[in-house]
Structure 1
Amino acid sequence: MQDLTQDLSQDLSQDLSQDGAQNAAQEAARQAHQPNIDAGRRRFLTAGALLVSFTLLPRPRDAFGQTVTTEAGTFTATAPKLPGSLKTTPALDAWIRIDTAGKVTVCTGKAELGTGISTAFMQLAAEQLDLEPQAITLITADTGETPNEGYTAGSHSVADSGTAIFNAAAQVRTLLLQTAAAQLQVDASTLATQGGQIIAPDGRRLSYGDAVRGTNLHRNAQPGVALKPPAQFDVVGHSLRRVDIPGKVTGGESYIQDMRPAGMVHARVVRPPAYGATLASVDTARIERLPGVLKVVRDGNYLAVVAGDEWQAIVAMRELMAAARWHAGPPLPDPSTIHETLIRLPAQEIKVADQSGQTAPAVHTLDVRYSKPYMTHGSIGPSCALARFDHGSMTVWSHTQGVFPLRAGLAEMLSLPKAQVRCIHVEGSGCYGHNAADDVAADAALIARAMPGRTVRVQLMREQEHTWEPFGPAMTTHASASLDANGTIVDWRYELWSNTHNNRIDNAGRLLPAQLLAQPFTPAPPKPIPMPEGGGDRNSIPLYRVPNLQVQSHFLPDMPIRVSAMRSLGAHMNIFAIESLMDELALVAQADPVEFRLKHLDDPRARDVIELAAQRFGWQKRAPAAGQSSRAGASPAGGESRGVGFAFAKYKNLMAYCAIAMEIAVDRDTGRVDIERVVAAIDCGQIVNPDGVRNQVEGGILQTTSWTLYEQTTFDTRCITSYDWSTYPIMRFSSVPKRVEVHLIDRPGLPFLGVGEASQGPAAAVLANAIADATGARIRDLPLAGARLKAALA
């Protein structure tokens, strides 16, 4: 017992000494808030008991303040040998907390964005702690409570945070068993755990609450701690009903848009009419006299109004809009030539891949271009935030994807220390990347500062959301590939032009309201996201065997339209282009598209998903003559044509493998595309919640179908013109695929690969390939359906 106590004390001392003077001061402050130890308890400690003081709060670590360097939110690791996000936050009690009553709390720096990660995290912790998931309290993305995991993006949640929770829970269970073994005077290997109880062979029991009294959870995780073998899993690998769904389908308080704390006031903002417009004049006196109006906030080009109820705020906002006079900003580029404009912009050149090898002579070469337009996130609920400013401290409730980066940006904007700003994530109705959530959080903070002691709710209007959000960037790609006489790819050259896909909150200037102030903040300059994650160049390197390969990214720092991250970043466009080209090459080689892919793939897991999708779809081999569609379609005069398509990708060439087969019907008279059935196969490593994986693949297919067939942000030389659902159409229920199947390949014991964005790229390409198969028309510019398809058929 004394040896164990000494080991625990030494470990704690080492942790504190390693953190240096700053963390020692934080430790002293933490201890000052703990209850005093009474004399009897002190005598018990001096007698050699196992009780060692620990905190139930996560210890602040240097990683909390580190600069985020990628869209996915990864940053410099402090403990590189540890798994997942334990690298950046190794303290066990930052992830797992157990109080003396046995209550188990799990913390994650990732935010629930509707992808079901909350359910998965509870399953992971429950598995290693031998608990029912319902017994766990989960805290997500709160700068006052959770580890800093940067952004919730890039399909990293389960791979990074889930891995950390899984391993931390296993280590916590081991520590509890060691303490119980000492108290029960048995060998730890003879003890079992079940339902928060530690059970000895003779039937004696010790609760987790009892065991934690003598356990030091305030210690760093260690590498190499054994996990429960997959064969013994009771929770992981089984479908658990999503914990976030019931409130959403029953009208419960599920989203930030639903929050109505007592005493709350409502605010609305007035945005400039276009980029670069400046406020010439505004008469606020009449607006201030309107019923219910509490305050008009003006700071430079920034305008907002606060009222007692929401409708009063909307009425006042409209009057304020009418009263404001603006000087026009600089013109936008001609939308009809936007891709030519982008190609002419100054570029930072990035050589993504450059390899060469000996091959047979090329006998066929394809040289093609593909493009995608600017795209709107299209969040169903306009962005919303709440804020309260009390005694010099700001609390903000936001559906941001990164509470810690947002806190840093708000603190800079408000000239407050970061310690006096707390950001708490609350799920929003719609996300899909960097939409206007951070901007409206800045609105709420600015207005709350002007209304101290009141909770201020700000929600954007639909037209504000659609015209001022950071859009998904337009992209242009140029691909050239050659085949030898045997139909084997011998040369592949690919280049892409794109603005940044990451204008997330590196500084206050990235927040739109901060740019409008009388003393404006300047946005941090855009930077490319380095590969292998990548930004615009994400998934620009084909996974296929290509002996001669050149990939060049033309990174465009100048942004004629405000842009940032949209789900899957450049992977959507690059996989669309690569997989379209693979079908075009298969046609030239007179090869079946599935067999052509398999011919160029060495990765056995890639081959497995392709073969599974083809098998479950009932893919029939097709090898058309060069220049001919592989299916007979309808006559050129009109009618309906049917076709099938296939596409595959490994997301980022790092994460989940996904293959999709699709059958469609095309109305040649109208350009309408009906999706008859979709069959997908996914390999995301160890599966935590099978139903959750299917949710994400299905959702990605539906969302990307909407992107690929219909969606396009429109603008003229003055402003954004796609300001509502009539000017920015998305997929309607009548156009949803009639049947979607998702087949899973589970890899027990292998790393979690992340699945949230795995289907985005393949779902875009499979549509293009199916349309080409049905009609013989190869469309290389998004969106595919409607007028563009009808024109191609004509």
Structure 2
Amino acid sequence: MNRRNFLKNTGCLAIGFSLQGPHFDLPSPMRQDLPESIKRHPNINAWLEVLADGRVRIFTGKLELGQGISTAIEQVAAEELDLPMESVEIVLADTARTPDEGYTVGSGSIEQSAMAVRFAAAAARQKLLELAAQQLNTPVNQLTIEDGKISTKAGDHVVTFNQLLNGKQITDKVQAPVTLKPKEEYKLVGKAIPRSDINRMVRGETHFIQDLRFPGMVYASIVRPPAYEAKLLQLDEKALQKNNPGVLKTIVNGSFVGIIAGEEYQALKAQRWVQQHSQWSTGSNLPAGANLIDHLKTLPAKTERITEKGSLPTDNSTLIKAQYFKPYLMHGSIGPSCALAIYEQDRLHVWSHSQGIYPLRDSLAALLKIPAEKIHITGVPGSGCYGHNGADDVAADVALLAMAYPGKHIRLQWTRSDEHGWEPYGSAMIMEVAATLDPSGAINSWQYDLWSDTHGIRPSGEANNLLAAQAYSNPFKGNSGYSGGMNRNSEPYYTIPNQQVNAHFFKGPLRTSALRSLGAYANVFAIESFMDELAEKAGKDPFTFRLMHLQDNRAKAVIRKLQEMIAAGRPATGTGVGIAFSRYKNSSSYCAVAAQVYVASTTGTIQVQKMWAAIDSGEVINIDGLINQTEGGMIQSASWTIMEQVQFDAQHITSRDWVSYPIMRFNQVPDVEVAVLDQPNEKAMGAGEAVQGPAAAAIANGVYKACGQRIRHLPIIKEMAKM
């Protein structure tokens, strides 16, 4: 019986205890509003257990994606339990051990998982104090906790966590009100605690799923169609075996072709042989050569009114208008999607860098037609992995192969060409905005229309959207996905009396899903670029114009902080500094960004020289992690904004390597500077996706300041080439 089934079958021992004492008071909402993850998994021992050596093991359903969530969660647990960091270890994303927290998405790891662990640890602390009070015959307010020991304040009696629990675990439920440690007593939270996993990466130790190996492991490859919707017409499996020594098994189901071999090179050689010696149908045509904006706007679209207040002007002659465009972008994960699996003793074990191991487990159960309880998934970080890339697809691929070839660990890593050609991209988007100004220069009306494909076809417990399922001889029919992601940050955060925002959801020619920040990147790029255009029309500087339309003091604070950060610099000839602001999802982190851009007058070549960001994410757990996330987000956004675009011809994707899909190289990375506005008495908010949108607009606005060219269509390099 595994740990998870034990918890399910034994239930919990509910023991009442007082939460009164010296340890204390936070505002009522902080105590009463438990995180959703705690509400779904209220037992303390779903989140932590005390080990025999006195250390504490923490469980979280989230996966480490480079956001530093492991360190942040360890920090909050160690803080609440008054343990040193080295006395806390963490288990990430394992269907047999950790709570089901859905997907690691939406900058929600701090807000949900870290806060769930905080509440569980605080409840565990109070329970330990209650037990110690009984054993030492001393009131709780006369006890202290330090390094796994509880002692009287006089120091004459000491008891360890293990002595109190006697080999058992705390099975009580976390129930409001939970008394949290007073913030003025924090020793760890808010500090820059180094991430231990960085050391392993730098030394090249086994860390990522791409590094994982098992004794006697065999290797696999998958043959993808030459185009979307192409079907396998002919494959000579006997000739494949004859011409490819080392091939152990070939699995063909409809257009799904998997190859298992003793060595990785043998599997890749066999893959290339099949690509050259098989016959496929033509597949669907892509709109190569067409104006993509015109093509996308001709597609059938479902329109949704996102917001409407006041009334729009009837006289179109007063409207200030602009159209903005974001192309298809790929995740371009540095390590191609990878998974391992073994089927033995009627159970399937899968190792995956999926962002949602529980939804993946249910999706595999639907695909393979076996009970979910017979599938065990262990989450392992992927190199350069974020968003909905190919992680779920490669896990489904290798699961199918493992079922067909039991008793052996099978490793499957996609090729770079397959990764670039078959991952779900970030959707192309069109944004059209029209506004009017009143006599004082304030925005009086705002009309915004956006067009986008889905930003979410995650499996979500179904098999339909897995590549393997769609290639079957009796294929699962893919669904159109989640449309809400396109709306993210489509409503301006500014005070505007008359507004209308419409979203037009189409089914486009390329496979799309969740890419970092979803629709917020394009929407903020459009809104903040247009804010600069309106500021110029109103005769006001970009800072003043934004501040006059904001009522939220925290929003104003990050803009003013940014203004301070760039005040000392004087751009050289050929350079310009642009700014932008957004509050992510209009409910999460506040972020203002500035970018200094150089534009060569003769060639139009652009270089992002420096970027600044001021960010308010509420209470800071690990300031180093918050700064790193913001720095990395600016750099990634700069790469998207300047140069990235998925290319295709009439048959297939042509961006199949780092030459045809360039990303920013080390020698192109700008200097970055981040200021954090810590708000220790505010809710902690995620920051991993807060900076991408304003970074793009700041760069575009910087180009205008440098050379007078408005950038409305991305990527900038392509747009500048037209001028």
The CA distance in 1 between the partners of 2:81 and 2:429, in whole Å, is 47
Partner in structure 2 of residue 269 of structure 1: 222
Q: How far, CA to CA, are the matches of 1:403 and 1:80 in structure 2?
A: 29
Superposition pairs of residues 776-787 of structure 1, within 5 angstroms? 776-785=708-717, 787=718
- Structure 1 segment 239-258 matched on structure 2, within 5 A: 239-258=192-211
Q: Distance in 1 between matches of 2:634 and 2:8?
A: 50
1:95 to 47, 50, 53: 47
The answer to whether the aligner puts 1:703 opposite 2:636 as a matched pair is yes
Other structure's SS at 2:450 match: strand
| 2:671 aligned with 1:721 | no
Change (3 A) 1:29 1:143: closer
**Matched residue, 1:75:** none
- Report 1:119-158 matches (<5 A): 119-158=71-110
Distance 1:150 1:53, change over 3 A: closer
What pairs up with 1:554-593 in 2 under 5 angstroms?
Answer: 554-556=504-506, 558-593=507-542
Aligned counterpart in structure 1 of residue 490 of structure 2, from 534, 540, 548 = 540
The aligned residue for residue 511 of structure 1 is 466
> Is 1:368 paired with 2:322?
yes
Q: Relative to 1, partners in 2 of residues 1:166 and 1:84: Cα closer, same or farther, differing over 3 Å? A: farther
The answer to whether the 8 A contact 2:459-2:466 is kept is yes
Q: 1:29 to 1:735 in 2, by over 3 A?
A: closer
Query: What corresponds to 1:608 in structure 2?
Result: 557
C-alpha distance in 2 between matches for 1:31 and 1:225: 24
Q: Does the residue aligned with 1:296 lie in a helix, a strand or coil?
A: strand
Which of the numbers 425, 428, 443 marks the counterpart of 2:382? Answer: 428
Aligned AA (2:651): R
Structure 1 residue 26: deviation in Å?
A: 6.2
Q: CA RMSD in A?
A: 2.3
Query: Residues of 1 paired with 2:535 and 2:379: CA distance?
Result: 47
**1:321-720 superposed matches below 5 A:** 321-356=275-310, 365-506=319-460, 507-529=462-484, 535-556=485-506, 558-618=507-567, 641-720=574-653
**For 1:315, what is the secondary structure of its paired residue?**
helix
Per-residue CA deviations over 1:16-39 (Å, capped at 9, x if unaligned) read xxxxxxxxx96698459xxxxxxx
SS state of the match for residue 354, structure 1?
Answer: strand
Q: CA deviation at 1:99?
A: 3.6
Q: Give the equivalent residue in structure 1 for 2:24.
A: none
Q: Residue 576 of structure 1 contacts residue 765 of structure 1 at CA under 8 Å; is this kept in 2? A: yes
Query: Structure 1 residues 309 and 358 mapped into 2: Cα distance closer, same or farther (>3 Å)?
Result: closer
Distance (whole Å) between structure 1 residues aligned to residue 631 and residue 10 of structure 2: 49
Which AA in structure 2 matches 1:562? R
CA apart distance, 1:53: 10
Q: Does the alignment pair 1:82 with 2:34?
A: yes
Matched, 1:217 2:149: no
Query: In the TM superposition, what are the counterparts of 1:202-241 in structure 2 within 5 Å?
Result: 202-203=154-155, 204-213=157-166, 217-241=170-194
Q: Which amino acid aligns with 1:160?
A: Q
Structure-2 separation of matches of 1:29 and 1:375: 43
Number of aligned residue pairs: give it. 702
What residue in structure 1 maps to residue 56 of structure 2? 104
Q: Alpha-carbon deviation of 1:524?
A: 3.2
Code of the residue aligned with 1:248 in structure 2: it is M
Q: Report the equivalent of 1:35.
A: none
Paired residues of 1:545 and 1:602 also in contact (CA < 8 A): yes
CA distance in 1, matches of 2:234, 2:154: 83
Distance change (3 Å), C-alpha of 1:697 and 1:182: same
Check 1:266–1:620 CA distance in 2 against 1; reply closer, same or farther (3 A cut): closer
Partners of 2:589 and 2:617 within 8 A in 1: yes
Question: Deviation per CA, 1:390-439, whole angstroms, max 9, x where unpaired?
Answer: 12211110111110111111111111101011111100012231111111
> Does structure 1 conserve the Cα–Cα contact (< 8 Å) formed by 2:13 and 2:172?
no
> Is the contact made by 1:678 and 1:741 (CA closer than 8 Å) also made in structure 2?
yes
**2:124 is the counterpart of 1:172:** yes
Q: What secondary structure sits across from 1:428 in the alignment?
A: coil
- Check whether the contact 1:363–1:485 (CA below 8 A) recurs between aligned residues: no
Q: Which residue of 2 aligns with 1:15?
A: none
Counterpart amino acid of 1:618?
Answer: A
Q: Percent identity?
A: 44
Verify the 8 A CA contact 2:433 2:446 in the aligned structure 1: yes
Consecutive unaligned residues in structure 2, runs of 5 or more: 16-30
Normalised TM-score (structure 2): 0.94
Pick closer, same or farther for the CA change 1:382–1:692 going to 2, 3 Å.
same
Range that drifts further, 260-269 or 703-712: 260-269
CA distance in structure 1 between the partners assigned to 2:405 and 2:277 by the alignment: 23
Instruction: Give the distance between the partners of 2:10 and 2:546, measured in 1 at CA.
Output: 61
Q: Secondary structure at the match of 1:328?
A: coil
In 1, the alpha carbon distance for the partners of 2:164 and 2:408 equals: 43
Q: Is the 8 A contact 2:434 2:446 kept in 1?
A: yes
Q: Deviations over 1:245-269 (max 9, x none)?
A: 1111111111100011111111011
Instruction: Give distance in 2, aligned partners of 1:179 and 1:254.
Output: 39
Cα offset for 1:201? 2.4
Tell me the equivalent position of 2:19: none
Q: Deviations over 1:135-194 (max 9, x none)?
A: 112011111111111110110000111111111110100001001110111101111100
Q: CA deviation at 1:570?
A: 0.3
Cα deviation for residue 216 of structure 1 reads: 6.3
Contact 2:455-2:512 within 8 A present in 1 as well: yes
Code of the aligned partner of 1:212: L
1:214 shift after superposition = 8.8
Q: Secondary structure at the match of 1:244?
A: helix
Residue segments in structure 1 that go unaligned for 5+ positions in a row:
1-24, 33-50, 55-78, 530-534, 622-630, 634-639
Aligned residue identity for 2:130: Q
Following superposition of structure 1 onto structure 2, how do residues 37-56 of structure 1 map, counting pairs within 5 Å?
none
Q: Match for 2:688 among 749, 756, 759?
A: 756
Q: Per the alignment, do residues 84 and 686 of structure 1 end up closer, same or farther by CA in structure 2, a change over 3 Å counting?
A: farther
TM superposition shift of 1:525: 3.7
CA contact (8 A) 2:325 2:428 kept: yes
Q: Which residue of 2 aligns with 1:637?
A: none
Deviates more, 1:317-326 or 1:652-661: 317-326
The one-letter amino acid paired with 1:159 is: E
**SS of aligned partner of 1:352:** strand
Q: Cα distance 1:174–1:119, how it changes in 2: closer, same or farther (>3 A)?
A: same
Q: Is the 8 A contact 2:227 2:284 kept in 1?
A: no
One-letter amino acid of the structure 2 residue matched with residue 343 of structure 1: K
Moved more, 583-592 or 307-316: 307-316
**SS class of match (1:336):** coil
Residues 590-647 of structure 1, C-alpha deviations (whole Å, 9 max, x = no match) = 11101110111110000110001110111789xxxxxxxxx9x9xxxxxx62111000
Q: CA offset at residue 668 of structure 1? A: 2.9
After superposition, the C-alpha distances for 1:1-27 in whole angstroms (9 at most, x for unaligned) are: xxxxxxxxxxxxxxxxxxxxxxxx966
| In structure 2, distance between residues paired with 1:258 and 1:526 | 32
The alpha-carbon deviation at position 341 of structure 1 amounts to 2.1
Residue 788 of structure 1: how far off its partner (Å): 2.0
